């Protein structure tokens, strides 16, 4: 039996991850594969509990390193309990965020730097990583405006614009690596979705 493929969707708040996550999962199913949709931080009982802490606005003393370690604690559980077993049984996994968010938010936004994140990535994940990363890119102001309409601001969404500018820049700088695709999320939805569909075709062939 062939193993499944691991796809992640990334980007700053308000870029339209949820809508496009549905498209990705529908496309994978239409191509004839089983699909599991998950998210980070979260995806397991432990991960969802860690997520609550991470998003809680009352946790206003959390240090950047504590934040990074909690992200990876949730991720360690997620990979072993959910992602790897699914891939091993041939199921494709689509995750709303993964390690690239740690590079962008903790490495860039919190200014821990990419080396600190890379070190943990190696220790926790070894060589394991996504087969395809889709980064949705949008002007920060436009994204935050969209995000604020959907829900009340959590601990991250309460950050200032400069924080998100650093997050966006870190995402863009990662998008040149092999297996990465940067998608312009400012285009009309239909065009964004056509572009994502084209990217996915590569994996189906």
Note the residues at the interface with ligand TYD (CB under 6 A).
13, 17, 40-41, 71, 96-97, 101-102, 105-106, 147, 156
C-alpha span between 140 and 14 (Å, rounded) = 9
C-alpha span between 64 and 108 (Å, rounded) = 11
Compute the least distance from the CB of residue 8 to ligand TYD, in Å: 9
Q: Name which of 30 and 189 has its Cβ closer to ligand TYD.
A: 189
Compute the least distance from the CB of residue 188 to ligand TYD, in Å: 21
Compute the least distance from the CB of residue 79 to ligand TYD, in Å: 12
Compute the least distance from the CB of residue 156 to ligand TYD, in Å: 3
User: Residue 186 corresponds to which tokens in the numbers above?
Assistant: 């400012």
Exposed e or buried b for every residue in 14-27, given b needs 16+ CB within 10 A?
A: bbbbeebbebbbeb
CA 80 to chain centre: 17
C-alpha span between 166 and 200 (Å, rounded) = 28
C-alpha span between 85 and 191 (Å, rounded) = 34
**Unique residue bearing structure tokens 């959390």:** 62
Compute the least distance from the CB of residue 36 to ligand TYD, in Å: 17
Q: Name which of 131 and 157 has its Cβ closer to ligand TYD.
A: 157
User: Residue 96 corresponds to which tokens in the numbers above?
Assistant: 């709303």
C-alpha span between 7 and 197 (Å, rounded) = 13
Q: Name which of 6 and 156 has its Cβ closer to ligand TYD.
A: 156
Q: Name which of 141 and 198 has its Cβ closer to ligand TYD.
A: 141
Q: Name which of 112 and 200 has its Cβ closer to ligand TYD.
A: 112
> What are the Cα distances from residue 3, in Å, to 49, 77, 93, 176?
29, 20, 11, 26
| Residue whose Cβ sits closest to ligand TYD | 105
Compute the least distance from the CB of residue 193 to ligand TYD, in Å: 18
Q: Name which of 18 and 197 has its Cβ closer to ligand TYD.
A: 18
């Amino acid at each position: 039996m062939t193993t499944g493929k691991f796809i992640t969707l990334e980007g700053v708040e308000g870029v339209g991850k949820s809508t496009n996550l549905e498209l990705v999962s529908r496309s994978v199913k239409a191509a004839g594969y089983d699909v599991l949709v998950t998210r980070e931080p979260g995806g397991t009982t432990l991960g969802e509990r860690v997520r609550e802490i991470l998003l809680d606005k009352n946790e206003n003393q959390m240090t950047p390193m504590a934040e990074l370690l909690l992200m990876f604690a949730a991720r360690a559980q997620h990979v072993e309990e959910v992602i790897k077993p699914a891939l091993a049984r041939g199921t494709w996994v689509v995750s709303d965020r993964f390690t690239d968010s740690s590079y962008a938010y903790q490495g860039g936004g919190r200014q821990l730097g990419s080396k600190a994140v890379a070190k943990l990535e190696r220790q926790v994940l070894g060589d394991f990583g996504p087969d395809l990363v889709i980064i949705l890119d949008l002007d920060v102001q436009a994204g935050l405006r969209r995000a604020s309409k959907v829900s009340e601001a959590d601990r991250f969404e309460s950050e200032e614009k400069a924080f998100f500018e650093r997050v966006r820049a870190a995402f863009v700088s990662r998008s040149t690596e092999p297996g990465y695709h940067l998608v312009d999320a400012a285009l009309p939805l239909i065009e964004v979705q056509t572009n994502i569909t084209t990217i996915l075709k590569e994996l189906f062939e």
